[in-house]
Structure 1
Amino acid sequence: MSKVLKLVKKSKKALGESSLVKVLQSEIRHELSNDLYKNERGSLGDFVIDWDSSQSRDIMMRKKCESGEEVAISALLGDETFLGDVGYPKEAEMKVCVKKTGLSSILQFDCKVVDEGQDKVDFHIQNAFYLKWPTNLSSSVYRGPEFRDLDPDLQQELKHYLISKGIGESFSNFLLHYLHKKEQNQYINWLQNLEALAAKS
Structure 2
Amino acid sequence: MPSSIASSLLCRTLRLSRSSSRFFGHCQPLFYSSLASSRSSSPLIRSVVPQILRNPPSLLSFRFASSKVSADENLKRVLDSEINCVLQSNTHGQEIELPDGFPFEIIDNPGNQTVILKREFAGENIQVTVFMNLDAEGDLGENDEDGSEDDNNESSFQPTISVVVSIEKGEGPFLEFSCNLNADELEIESMALKKHDAPDDQGAYQGPEFSDLDENLQKALHKYLAVRGIKGSLFDFLHEYMMSKDEKEYLAWLKNLKEFVGK
TM-score (ref. length: structure 2): 0.59
Q: Deviations over 1:96-155 (max 9, x none)?
A: 112346x723221111122xxxxx363211012233555554333211110000122321
Please provide the CA RMSD for this pair. 3.3
Deviation at 1:174, TM superposition (A): 2.2
Counterpart of 2:174 (choices 76, 100, 106) is 106
Report whether the alignment pairs 1:77 with 2:132. Answer: yes
Check whether the contact 1:60–1:72 (CA below 8 A) recurs between aligned residues: yes
Name the residue aligned to 1:45: 102
Stretches of structure 1 lacking an aligned partner (at least 5 in a row): 115-119
CA 8–112 in structure 1, closer or farther in 2 if over 3 Å, else same:
same
Q: CA deviation at 1:172?
A: 2.7
For residues 99 and 29 of structure 1, do their structure 2 counterparts lie closer, same or farther at Cα, with a shift above 3 Å needed? same
Matching of residue 178 in structure 1 with residue 241 in structure 2: yes
The amino acid across from 2:234 in the alignment is F
SS in 1 for 2:262: helix
- Gaps of at least 5 residues in structure 2 are 1-52, 142-153
Aligned length: 189
- Return the TM-score normalized by structure 1: 0.74
The answer as to 2:159 corresponding to 1:93 is no
2:129·2:164 contact (CA, 8 Å) conserved in 1? yes
Match of 1:123 among 186, 210, 218: 186
SS of the aligned residue for 1:104 comes to coil
Looking at structure 1, the residues matched to 67 and 195 of structure 2 have their Cα atoms a distance apart, in angstroms, of 64
Equivalent in the alignment of 1:190: 253
Structure 2 CA distance for aligned equivalents of residues 169 and 188 of structure 1: 30
In the TM superposition, residue 64 of structure 1 has moved relative to its aligned partner by 0.9
Q: In structure 2, what residue type is equivalent to 1:112?
A: N
After superposing on structure 2, the runs of 4+ consecutive aligned residues of structure 1 that deviate more than 3 Å are 1-15, 35-44, 83-86, 131-137
Cα shift at 1:84? 8.0
Q: Which residues of 2 match residues 8-27 of structure 1 at below 5 A? A: 10-27=65-82
Considering fraction of residues, name the structure with more strand.
1
Matched, 1:164 2:227: yes
Overall identity of the aligned pairs, in %? 25
Bigger relative contact order (CA 8 A; separation at least 6): 1
Q: Which residue of 2 aligns with 1:117?
A: none
